Structure 1
Amino acid sequence: MFNKKIGLILVLALAAGLGLLAAQKFFGPATPATVWPPTQTVPLFPQARPLPPFSLRQSDGTQLTDGELKGHWTLVFLGFTFCPDVCPTTLAELAQAQAQWKDLPDSTRPRVLFVSVDPERDTPTRIGEYAHAFHPDTMAATADVPALENFAKSLGFVFMKVPGDGFEQNPNDYSMDHSSAIGVLDPQGRLAGLIRPPFQPKAIAADMRALTEASTQ
């Protein structure tokens, strides 16, 4: 079991790297670099890259499109509500960061977007309740699998369904392996960087505050 899990992690890591290369090749040329202030733990790419058009369904039933992510720095995390460890831990750490930038104006305050890659079990209502239990400002969305695959690929992320031992008798006996990094989108909705675990909530909050203040000057 241990070797199998390690193998899956290695496959995900390799696929994530290949996904990012594919995103760079197929989703448009890099845009001119913007000079941002130095960051502690949020590494930014030399050049941000636009995302291809996408459409996700938010927890309130409305559509989330690429244009709606503009105007704010946004941290994007893939997961699922039945996740036993990585997802709740990451959302709790992001909630700590959110608490530290809550004094910023709502019009420019950084946002956190949780995207469920388990649409079979995660309804919009369920993901909303799940995400808001960590922080009321956290956005939650999902979509059908093809749309999720395209969105994940544009971020250089991957996910896969992993059947459990009793899957043949119980179709709900499965888990979802997924990338554990956090995508960083700039106020133009472009992929500007990736934050890889382990996460440091205080440093993330300080970086996002600095980036937000710089983008509004």
Structure 2
Amino acid sequence: MKLSWQWVILAGALALAAGVGLSLNGQADERPLVSALWYEQARPLPEVELKDHSGGVFTNKQFKGRWTLMFLGYTSCPDVCPTTMADLARAYPKLQVHLTKSPLQVVLMSVDPGRDSQQKLADYVGFFNPEFYAITGEHSQLYKLSQSLGLMYVLVDNPNPDGTGEDYLVDHSADIVLINPEGAVEAVFRPEGGVGEIRKVSMNRLMEDYPVITGVQ
């Protein structure tokens, strides 16, 4: 009798494992592979209140009803930021081809509020594409949002403890985050590049993955 119960338990375990395997295989078949980090469950964002380059208030409401490509940067950035902005400006018209019910917006979140004034941000994004947004705010808000996006930044080489001054750099993530029309993080495009190269997101990969993730065929 004891042996039979062992067989029942073993058979049940095997059946459960087989069922899980079928379920996972089914999910894999339904969800295509992409090079981006695509979350199984979109990650919610905290409520924030920032300023945009036009002087308006930017809150989570601006994410609703549209797809958003968002990344960290600052106007004094010597390499990654202008390169990424230029890449996105070239890719933007091609990405717009995939517009459905939810349009696309590109947002630069400046993590250098000490130097990036409203006018400076307006001139910067306007140079690349006047349809792009730039936002910034207090570090307390920027830190909260950047951490929820899975990104990070830190001011370096600044001799002033209070973060003021002009002569410093900002180390920051080079990822581009895709936020869905519900205002949650859907996917993250990771930067590429070897030693001695500028690490940036591949626009070819982003343009391949974007229509797949957003459900455009």
In the TM superposition, residue 48 of structure 1 has moved relative to its aligned partner by 0.6
Q: 1:167, 1:174 within 8 Å by CA — same for their partners in 2?
A: no
* 1:139-189 residue CA offsets vs partner (Å, 9 max, x unmatched): 11100111111111111211111125x769x92111111111111111111
Equivalence for 2:10: none
Equivalence for 1:123: 117
What is the rounded CA distance, in whole Å, between the counterparts of 1:209 and 1:129 in structure 2?
Answer: 30
* 1:73-97 residue CA offsets vs partner (Å, 9 max, x unmatched): 1111001000000111111122222
Does residue 137 in structure 1 map to residue 139 in structure 2?
no
Does residue 204 in structure 1 map to residue 206 in structure 2?
yes
In the TM superposition, residue 105 of structure 1 has moved relative to its aligned partner by 4.8
Q: How does 1:159-198 map to 2 (within 5 A)?
A: 159-163=153-157, 171-198=165-192
The amino acid across from 2:210 in the alignment is M
Runs (5+) with no aligned partner, structure 1: 1-32
The amino acid across from 1:163 in the alignment is D
Which of the residues 122, 144, 148 maps onto 1:150? 144
RMSD: 2.6
In the TM superposition, residue 112 of structure 1 has moved relative to its aligned partner by 1.1
Shift in alpha-carbon separation, 1:46–1:102, aligned structure 2, 3 A: closer
In the TM superposition, residue 42 of structure 1 has moved relative to its aligned partner by 2.9
In the TM superposition, residue 39 of structure 1 has moved relative to its aligned partner by 5.3
What is the rounded CA distance, in whole Å, between the counterparts of 1:107 and 1:192 in structure 2?
Answer: 17
Corresponding residue SS for 1:194: strand
Does residue 45 in structure 1 map to residue 39 in structure 2?
yes
Runs (5+) with no aligned partner, structure 2: 1-26, 193-200
What is the rounded CA distance, in whole Å, between the counterparts of 1:141 and 1:134 in structure 2?
Answer: 15
* 1:10-30 residue CA offsets vs partner (Å, 9 max, x unmatched): xxxxxxxxxxxxxxxxxxxxx
What is the rounded CA distance, in whole Å, between the counterparts of 2:30 and 2:80 in structure 1?
Answer: 30
Larger Rg: 2
Q: 1:37, 1:211 within 8 Å by CA — same for their partners in 2?
A: no
The amino acid across from 1:64 in the alignment is F
Does residue 108 in structure 1 map to residue 110 in structure 2?
no
The amino acid across from 2:77 in the alignment is C
* 1:28-59 residue CA offsets vs partner (Å, 9 max, x unmatched): xxxxx9x9853543331111111110111001
User: Sequence identity, in percent?
Assistant: 34
Corresponding residue SS for 1:120: coil
Corresponding residue SS for 2:40: strand
Residue correspondences, number = 180
Q: TM-score, normalised by structure 2?
A: 0.73
Q: 1:117, 1:159 within 8 Å by CA — same for their partners in 2?
A: yes
Q: 1:167, 1:173 within 8 Å by CA — same for their partners in 2?
A: no
Shift in alpha-carbon separation, 1:122–1:103, aligned structure 2, 3 A: same
Q: TM-score, normalised by structure 1?
A: 0.73
Runs of 4+ in 1 over 4 A off after TM superposition: 104-107
What is the rounded CA distance, in whole Å, between the counterparts of 2:95 and 2:48 in structure 1?
Answer: 28
Equivalence for 1:16: none
Q: 1:161, 1:175 within 8 Å by CA — same for their partners in 2?
A: yes
Which of the residues 78, 88, 93 maps onto 2:82? 88
